[in-house]
């Protein structure tokens, strides 16, 4: 009897020990510092306001006048308008005019480009346009069927899009507009490294001040800067050393699909305003403390005019949550944390 | 005699669980490989684990079938279930959604249901070993022979 308990105890320690060793080994791989260095600046931002949104499904649709407009992934026809000091908020329900039984489908995104807002549904595909402040939209002249997976308005009647190539489904960047040529695709902008879909995944951004589009890859140290006629300006590089997408893709014949197995996210989220590109990085530099990553998000700042890394700053966690998205306009940084929105002010002298 | 029946039932349940789990994994081995590749703990060893885990499950099942190896098989089953349980606890500490790689109906369980299911099997294996090692009047000698093996 006693012997049995001892044997069970040994088996228990052996079993849990093996798993904990695996855990420690995988932890070590994830948190190994990389060979690049960051230049940290302190006091880059000052937190000025915060607001509890109650739901974690909000995203920043844009800014109009003195209001921040938040869209909601799970309720695409609802907007939340909050004023600049986050003190006052107002719920708005979007309406579509002149159409029988209009529905705003799940997956639609709201994007602002003053004086208009757009409801973009890449699956249908359909775009509605209306004036900000009135929050009523009409179907926008967009009758060609061009599906898209990301979209940003770049003028009153034109949009930068990311879609998939017919046949191969590789990601491709392009543009749709109401004038001819309605759809333009530029396959040479994205460079396939592994499978064409996951390896080229990233975030599409538009800098209104420089009139430049930016596509930031998630899994390699690169961002593509191109103009609104889809001409490549340059390929910029983030400070880490991952020039090849850090992913593994698995293929499952029984469901005719491929899945992303493992990944190292180099660039988590991006934002751009003025001359700068802000990238929330997923990698530790050689001079980063391990616990700094546990307590902060790290934002690297790049100068888009010169394609240079400028400096980094840390954005502390808020209520135990890391920032899940950032949005920058002029001297304001808006960060979303779980179900909170927090507003920071940039201390100007850092941007000389 | 009642004790013997209980041991038979426990062993039968383990054989059923392990054979089912092993075969269902191999029936769609690509899917299993991808799921292991998505696990933060196992991604580095996925290609290897695809073969090791079901093989171990089948070997333990065989050990439970034969009387001579039954006790050792129960200890092995206990160890394996402890490993799966600790794995779940570790996985639960990760924030991201991680798919379960158990296969078949076992895959439909929530992580916390899975945890309870596993703990039940850990206790079952422990019960099995104590039933087999407990000294009993007529079977004492026989039990000791098992022990030595």
pLDDT in tens, A282-324: 888 877 776 777 889 999 999 999 888 888 999 999 998 999 9
DSSP string of A46-71, one letter each residue: EEEEEEE-S-S-EEEEEEETTEEEEE
pLDDT at A177: 87
**A5, closest residue in chain B (CA to CA):** B130
pLDDT band, very low/low/confident/very high, at B89 (cuts 50, 70, 90) = confident
Q: Which two tokens stand for residue B117?
A: 């299911």
Interchain contact B75–A (C-beta under 8 A): yes
Q: Examine the pLDDT at B63 and tell me if it is beyond 80.
A: yes
Beta pairing class for A95-96 and A136-139: parallel
Q: Chain A residues with CB inside 8 Å of B80's CB?
A: 15
- Listed residue (B84, B22, B21, B16) closest to B51, CA to CA: B22
User: Does residue A21 belong to the interface with chain B, where contact is any CB pair within 8 Å?
Assistant: no
Q: How many Cβ atoms from other residues are within 10 Å of residue A257's Cβ?
A: 11
Cα–Cα distance, A79 to A81 (Å, whole number): 6
What's the confidence (pLDDT) of residue A285?
81
pLDDT tens per residue, range A259-276: 887 788 899 999 999 999
Segment 18-47 of chain B within 8 Å of chain A by CB: 28, 30-31, 33-34, 37-38, 40-46
Mean pLDDT of B9-30: 91
B101 or A341, which is more confident = A341
Of the listed ranges A40-49, B35-44, B69-78, B122-131, the least confidently predicted one is B35-44
**What value does the mean pLDDT take over residues A54-76?**
91
Q: What distance in Å separates the CA atoms of residue B45 and residue A342, rounded to the nearest whole number?
A: 41
Contact assessment for residue A90 and residue A146, using Cβ atoms and an 8 Å cutoff: no
Q: Which residue has the higher pLDDT, B109 or A133?
A: A133
pLDDT at residue B2 tops 50: yes
CA distance B121 to chain A (A): 13
Please give the pLDDT value at position A315: 93
- Among A214-218, A329-333, B47-51, the range of highest mean pLDDT: A214-218
The mean pLDDT of chain A is 88
Average pLDDT, chain B: 82
pLDDT at A144 over 50: yes
User: Cβ separation of B40 and A259 shorter than 8 Å?
Assistant: no
A213 strand-pairing partners: A206, A226
With beta carbons less than 8 A apart as the criterion, state whether B74 and B68 touch.
Answer: no
Task: List, in sequence order, every residue forming a beta bridge with A93; answer none if it has no partner.
Answer: A78
Contact A1 B133 (CB under 8 A): yes
DSSP state of A185: E
Instruction: Compare all CA atoms of chain A with the CA of B90 and give the residue at the minimum distance.
Output: A23
- Residue B130: its chain A contacts at CB < 8 A? 1, 4
- What average pLDDT does this structure show over B2-16? 93
In sequence order, what are the beta bridge partners of A185?
Answer: A174
Q: Between A11, A18, A248, which is nearest B75 by CB?
A: A11
> Which pLDDT value is given to residue B102?
64
Instruction: Evaluate if residue A31 carries a pLDDT over 70.
Output: no
Pick the residue from chain A with its C-alpha nearest to B27. A254
Cβ contact (<8 Å) for B126 and A250? no
Residues of A whose CB is below 8 A from B31: 252, 254-255
Strand (E) or helix (H) holding A140: none
ipTM: 0.82
Arithmetic mean of pLDDT, A344-350: 82
Q: Are B118 and B85 within 8 A, CB to CB?
A: yes
Q: What are the tokens at B111?
A: 């992580």
Position A210 pLDDT exceeds 60: yes
What pLDDT is attached to residue B82? Answer: 94
Say what the pTM is.
0.73
pLDDT at position B30 over 60:
yes
Q: How far is CA B140 from CA A7, A333, A337, B135, B147, in A?
A: 19, 76, 65, 6, 11
pLDDT digits (tens, 9 = 90+) for B101-139: 666 666 667 777 888 999 999 999 999 999 988 876 554
**Tokens coding A150:** 């990301």
pLDDT at position A328, please?
A: 93
CB contact under 8 A, B38 and A14: no
Among the ranges given (A39-43, B8-12, B53-57), the one the predictor scored with the smallest mean pLDDT: A39-43
Q: How confident is the model at residue A241 (pLDDT cuts 50, 70, 90)?
A: confident
pLDDT at A327 over 90: yes
Contacts of A16 in chain B (CB under 8 A): 82-83, 86
**Of A170, A175, A159, A277, the residue nearest A216 (C-alpha):** A277
What pLDDT was estimated at residue A225? 96
Q: Would the pLDDT of B149 be above 50?
A: no
- Looking at residues A215-237, what average pLDDT do you find? 94
Partners of residue A265 in chain B, C-beta under 8 Å: none
Length of chain B (residues): 149
Distance CA A88, CA A67 (A): 10
pLDDT score of A281 more than 50: yes
Q: How far is CA A73 from CA A59, A123, B128, in A?
A: 7, 15, 51
- Binned at pLDDT 50, 70 and 90, residue A220 comes out as very high
Higher pLDDT, A228 or B149: A228
Q: Cβ–Cβ of B31/A252 closer than 8 Å?
A: yes
What per-residue confidence (pLDDT) applies to A350? 67
A58, A176, A223 from A204: Cα distances, Å: 18, 15, 10
Give the pLDDT confidence score for residue B100 in this predicted structure: 62
- What confidence score (pLDDT) does residue A101 get? 75
């Amino acid at each position: 009897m006693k012997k049995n308990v001892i044997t069970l105890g040994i088996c228990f320690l052996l079993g849990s020990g093996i798993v904990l060793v695996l855990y420690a080994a995988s932890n070590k791989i994830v948190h190994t510092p990389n060979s690049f260095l960051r230049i940290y600046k302190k006091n880059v931002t000052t937190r000025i306001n915060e607001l509890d949104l109650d739901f974690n499904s909000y995203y920043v649709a844009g800014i109009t006048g003195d209001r921040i407009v938040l869209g909601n992934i799970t309720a695409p026809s609802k907007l939340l308008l909050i004023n600049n000091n986050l003190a006052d908020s107002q719920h708005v329900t979007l309406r579509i005019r002149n159409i029988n039984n209009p529905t705003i489908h799940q997956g639609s995104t709201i994007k602002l480009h003053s004086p208009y807002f757009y409801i973009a549904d890449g699956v249908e595909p359909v775009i509605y346009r209306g004036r900000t402040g009135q929050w009523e939209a009409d179907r926008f002249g967009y009758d060609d069927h061009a599906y898209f997976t990301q979209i940003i308005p770049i003028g009153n009647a034109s949009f930068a899009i990311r879609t998939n190539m017919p046949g191969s489904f590789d990601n491709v960047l392009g543009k749709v507009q109401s004038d001819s040529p309605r759809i333009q695709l530029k396959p040479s902008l994205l460079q396939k490294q592994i499978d064409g879909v996951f390896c080229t995944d990233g975030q599409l951004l538009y800098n209104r001040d420089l009139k430049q589009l930016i596509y930031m890859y998630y899994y390699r140290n690169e961002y593509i800067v191109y103009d609104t006629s889809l001409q490549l300006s340059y390929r910029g590089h983030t400070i880490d050393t991952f020039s090849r997408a850090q992913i593994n893709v698995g293929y499952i014949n029984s469901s005719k699909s491929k899945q992303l197995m493992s990944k190292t996210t180099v660039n988590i989220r991006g934002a751009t305003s003025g001359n700068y590109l802000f990238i929330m990085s997923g990698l530790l530099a050689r001079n980063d403390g391990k616990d700094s990553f546990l307590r902060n998000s790290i934002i690297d700042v790049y100068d888009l005019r010169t394609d240079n890394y400028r400096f980094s700053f840390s954005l502390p966690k808020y209520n135990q949550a890391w920032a899940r998205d950032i949005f920058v306009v002029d001297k304001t940084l808006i960060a979303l944390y779980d179900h909170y929105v927090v507003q920071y002010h940039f201390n100007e002298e850092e941007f000389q | 005699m009642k004790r013997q029946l209980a041991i038979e039932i426990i062993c039968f349940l383990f054989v059923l669980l392990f054979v089912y789990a092993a075969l269902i994994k191999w029936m769609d081995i690509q899917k299993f490989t991808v799921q292991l590749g998505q696990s933060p703990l196992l991604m580095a060893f996925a290609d290897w684990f695809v073969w090791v885990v079901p093989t171990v499950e089948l070997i333990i099942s065989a050990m439970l079938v034969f009387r001579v190896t039954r006790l050792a098989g129960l200890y092995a089953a206990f160890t394996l279930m402890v490993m799966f349980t600790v794995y779940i606890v570790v996985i639960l500490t990760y924030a991201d959604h991680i798919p379960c790689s158990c296969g078949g109906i076992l895959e439909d369980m929530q992580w916390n249901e899975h945890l309870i299911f596993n703990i039940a099997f850990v206790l079952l294996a422990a019960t099995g070993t104590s039933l087999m090692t407990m000294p009993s009047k007529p079977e004492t000698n026989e039990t000791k022979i098992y022990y030595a093996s």
